[in-house]
A and B are shown apart, each in its own frame.
Chain A
Amino acid sequence: MATRVIGKSVPRKEGREKVTGRAKYVDDLKFPGMIFGATVRSPAARGRILGIHFEPGIPWEEFTVVTAKDIPGKNCIALLIDDQPCLAAEFVNHPEEPVVLLAHPDKYLLEEARRGVRIEIEPLPAIFSMDDSLAHKHVIWGADNIFKSYQVNKGHVEHALRDAELIVEGTYETGAQEQLYIEPQGMIAQANAEEGVTVWGSLQCPYYVHKALVVLFGLPKDRIRVVQAETGGGFGGKEEYPSMIAAHAALLAWKSGKPVKIIYDRAEDMVATTKRHPSRTKHRTAVTRDGKLVAMDIDFTLDGGAYETLSPVVLSRGTIHAAGPYNCPNVRIRSRAVATNAPPHGAFRGFGAPQSVFALERHFDRVADAVGLAPDEFRRRNFIQQGETIAVGQVIHEKVDMDGLMKRAFELSDYRQKRKRFAAENSGKMIRKGIGFASFFHGAGFTGSGEEHLASEVAAEATREGRVRVRAASTEMGQGTNTIFSQIAGEALGIDHEQIEIVQPDTANVPNSGPTVASRTSMIVGKLVETAALEIRAKLMNSGYLSSEYNATEFAAACRRYADEIGPLTSFVKYEHPRDLLWDDERYEGHAYGAYAWAVYVAEVSVDMRTAEVRVEDFVAVQEVGKVINPVLAAGQIEGGVAQGIGMAVYENIVWQEGRMVNGQMTNYIMPTSMDVPPIRIYFEENPYERGPAGAKGIGELPLDGTAPAIANAIAHAIGLNITRVPVTPEVLSELLEAVHA
């Protein structure tokens, strides 16, 4: 069906503000009487707080000082559960855990004061590895260090393994990864008992922050207000963490009676905020001699850090994606997220799937090898087809053509030729080349009954002048929310997308559309935007002021008549979960996601045998995403995601020392520069999802799933050795190469 503005690369709505430097991020905002806040953090990984000492030489009487006992409501950052304190009271459980807050009008004096607070801690034994956590070396959380565990059972894995013709085993690991949004975390708060609490900040989920502040202050919902400022990147790093910094700013504002601004510098942001969960996956795969999958036994562990935060949900997504877009009659997935004394790990684009997909796609190259098949032939014999079920028992009703995607990706990357040529030419060369791929899928929206529980809402209204305002809690953070919503609404209303205004996400002015995460913004919330727009149109038509064919002038005229003669023209839409999408939380099976994006990515690498440096030389990303609403924005999402995936695969390494990140500077935590990214070529296929707006599915996280395994597979091809963990740093690779020579 031909569309007018959907499918067009209209320019980004706030583009002009961004290229002129006029867009206002939280640190650009100033309030009269505003003072600055800072956080004093635990030096120890675990221990009992014996005392807080304020060194002499600082005029402490000028400072606002906040500790746990100043918290009016509950001392926690409310999320799934309430185990994470806002400020440590008696115990600390990770390095950099917040203990004391300070505020003062002078930024420089504030920094001196921050260094002048000494937190005296009696250390307790701490654990820093998944193994130590699982072995209960010390129990630091709950009864057994386990935040959550899942078990997926399809068929009879034990029987199948017993009768297997061939079993291939492998263990794979991924490290922590820092989101590294270029704008560090920040919040401004104003708070007092009369007016309540308002915060402005860099954030993805206004209503998450809202809920946390309601609990922290014990105030009614309408006394808490959260406003999103222009946000300089999030990638999940600003999904849950902003609740913490908002809480801190608000407490200081509450106690001081002044607006308080807290902006983290890069060093603090790196060491104190969330990271991608480190993972370990063990695969035992049974195949027939001609490469058909018989059984998959998968064991998946995530390191969650010191508090639960979002680990159960990250684990959930990782678990559901662990067996991939393949048809296997017997699958068992046992997974758990465990506690260690590190700052809690959290949301990062992909959210558990990059971890489990890395393991799977790396493992399947090895299974192919064991059976004597080319990696792509092995996949081909096992790709899921329409009507078959994935591991959690969801029947794939939509059309799926992984074969077709693979074919296209291979053509565009010259995969077959290069696969043969590199293998033939590498011998004796100082620069070895490799090419590899990953085939994968990513479910959009919240898992299972998640969307039903979110019960997202969107509102819209037409102004007297014929403009239409959309009210949603979805945040723009570069991915294009404002533009996409304008296109969707414009299309639905039959008017120019520039007539659409997207209201700034502010809990006082927008309903709760749920968080801006989980690749749900286009597909789930966008659909609500479409519906809300259609309702406006329907109301105008039902009023008789608008005929079935109309132009812009007629539309505006109808809005004016409606406003003058009937009243405000508004619509309000609430998410309705499709009745046929049933998910069983107990047995962990059923309809996990409304729709999946499907993809095959191909990476070409060169390995310098002298320095063990890996360069990604070329990258092709082919994906089927339902409907591309804005090609430039969509491609931009994939390109940026691939670059982050390249970082995950090759460059980004966190150096831990007793639970603390010690390389927390941009000099020492290495993300790719413009000289490190290859040409990234993006191609979209479209198979419209009937429940998405104009057929769109979600795409934001997809590229993080397949990039690292494609690169790892290419490296393995280049050097003929098994790669089992990322990041593949030169130090790690050179040890692997040396071990062969020894």
Chain B
Amino acid sequence: MPDRLKKIRLRCTLNGNAATLEAYPMARLLDVLRDEAGLTGVKEGCGEGECGACSVELDGEIVNSCLIPALQAEGVTIRTIEGVATGDQLHAVQQAFIAYGGAQCGICTPGMVLAAVNLLKRKPHATETDIRAGLSGNLCRCTGYTKIFAAVMAACRENGSHTGSQR
């Protein structure tokens, strides 16, 4: 049995709060978030960086948390699905997913919502082509994507009708 090394302590900002987590340096950020920080909204679908169910925002960029080693999360800012709504107030994308049927079984939904939120931050006037491309790293087996596109388009229109910053 190979030697067992020590865990490290890493400090990061998680959903707006300072957090200190203990983890093996090579542990997947996915597991650290789920098991150490209790953020079970981040899902494992494939463990190979293909399905996007584990998507989180890291320093403002969308990444697959199953491909980030814990060590490299030191000092970063992370947002998971749990950090998308503001208290009880859902994000426009979340509201649109409910209204347009963008979620069926829901397992891809956290990653998909985050990817959409991140996309609309970068492209507030996203077209359907942008949305198709922007979500292509998130696999959904239930919806055929159709109502996900509709939801994100609707959220885009909703965002467009507000002046002020996108989150």
Contact flag (A, B; Cβ within 8 A):
yes
- Is A152 located at the chain interface by the 8 A CB criterion? no
Write out the residue numbers on chain B whose beta carbons fall within 8 Å of the beta carbon of A233: 104-105, 107, 141-142
- Is B14 located at the chain interface by the 8 A CB criterion? no
Write out the residue numbers on chain A whose beta carbons fall within 8 Å of the beta carbon of B104: 12, 233, 478-480, 636, 640
Cα of A641 to Cα of B142 in the assembled complex, Å: 8
Residue of B nearest to A231 (CB): B105
- Is B45 located at the chain interface by the 8 A CB criterion? yes
Residue of A nearest to B147 (CB): A636
Write out the residue numbers on chain A whose beta carbons fall within 8 Å of the beta carbon of B46: 266, 665-666
Question: What 0/1 pattern do residues 39 to 69 of B give for CB contact below 8 A with A?
Answer: 1111111111011010000000000000000
Cα of A330 to Cα of B141 in the assembled complex, Å: 40
Q: Closest Cβ of chain B: how far from A186's Cβ, in Å?
A: 10
Interface size class of B (residues with CB under 8 A): 35 or more
Question: What 0/1 pattern do residues 1 to 37 of A give for CB contact below 8 A with B?
Answer: 0000000010110111111111111011000000000
Write out the residue numbers on chain B whose beta carbons fall within 8 Å of the beta carbon of A636: 101, 104, 142-144, 146-147
- Is B70 located at the chain interface by the 8 A CB criterion? no
Write out the residue numbers on chain A whose beta carbons fall within 8 Å of the beta carbon of B110: 21
Residue of B nearest to A28 (CB): B40
Write out the residue numbers on chain B whose beta carbons fall within 8 Å of the beta carbon of A272: none
Instruction: Indicate whether A21 sits within 8 Å of B45 (C-beta atoms), given known contacts A183-B105, A639-B143, A640-B142.
Output: no
Query: Judging by beta carbons under 8 Å apart, are B141 and A19 in contact?
Result: no
Q: Closest Cβ of chain B: how far from A322's Cβ, in Å?
A: 27
Cα of A675 to Cα of B43 in the assembled complex, Å: 22
Query: Judging by beta carbons under 8 Å apart, are B141 and A640 in contact?
Result: yes
What total count of A-B pairs have CB within 8 Å? 176
Query: Judging by beta carbons under 8 Å apart, are B100 and A632 in contact?
Result: yes
Q: Closest Cβ of chain A: how far from B123's Cβ, in Å?
A: 15
- Is B108 located at the chain interface by the 8 A CB criterion? yes
Query: Judging by beta carbons under 8 Å apart, are B139 and A19 in contact?
Result: no
Cα of A14 to Cα of B104 in the assembled complex, Å: 10
Instruction: Indicate whether A643 sits within 8 Å of B145 (C-beta atoms), given known contacts A12-B98, A183-B105, A674-B136.
Output: yes
- Is A57 located at the chain interface by the 8 A CB criterion? yes
Question: What 0/1 pattern do residues 128 to 156 of B give for CB contact below 8 A with A?
Answer: 00011101111111111111110000000
Q: Closest Cβ of chain A: how far from B22's Cβ, in Å?
A: 14
B1-19 at interface with A (beta carbon < 8 Å): 1-2
Instruction: Indicate whether A14 sits within 8 Å of B144 (C-beta atoms), given known contacts A20-B81, A675-B132.
Output: no
Instruction: Indicate whether A18 sits within 8 Å of B106 (C-beta atoms), given known contacts A266-B47, A674-B138, A675-B136.
Output: yes
Which single member of B51, B81, B139, B140 contacts A21 (CB below 8 Å)?
A: B81
Write out the residue numbers on chain A whose beta carbons fall within 8 Å of the beta carbon of B147: 632, 635-636, 639
Instruction: Indicate whether A22 sits within 8 Å of B41 (C-beta atoms), given known contacts A112-B1, A636-B101, A666-B51.
Output: yes
Q: Closest Cβ of chain A: how far from B66's Cβ, in Å?
A: 10
Which single member of B42, B48, B144 contacts A665 (CB below 8 Å)?
A: B48
Q: Closest Cβ of chain A: how far from B33's Cβ, in Å?
A: 11
Query: Judging by beta carbons under 8 Å apart, are A266 and B103 in contact?
Result: no
Query: Judging by beta carbons under 8 Å apart, are A182 and B82 in contact?
Result: no
- Is A642 located at the chain interface by the 8 A CB criterion? yes
Query: Judging by beta carbons under 8 Å apart, are B41 and A21 in contact?
Result: yes
Query: Judging by beta carbons under 8 Å apart, are B144 and A680 in contact?
Result: yes
Which single member of B43, B132, B142, B146 contacts A478 (CB below 8 Å)?
A: B142
Residue of B nearest to A636 (CB): B101
Q: Closest Cβ of chain A: how far from B98's Cβ, in Å?
A: 4
Q: Closest Cβ of chain B: how far from A180's Cβ, in Å?
A: 6
Query: Judging by beta carbons under 8 Å apart, are B146 and A666 in contact?
Result: no
Residue of B nearest to A673 (CB): B136
Closest 7 CB pairs of A and B: A21-B41, A232-B107, A478-B105, A18-B106, A478-B104, A643-B144, A21-B81
8 contacts between A and B (CB under 8 A): A18-B97, A22-B41, A112-B2, A233-B142, A632-B147, A636-B104, A674-B136, A675-B132
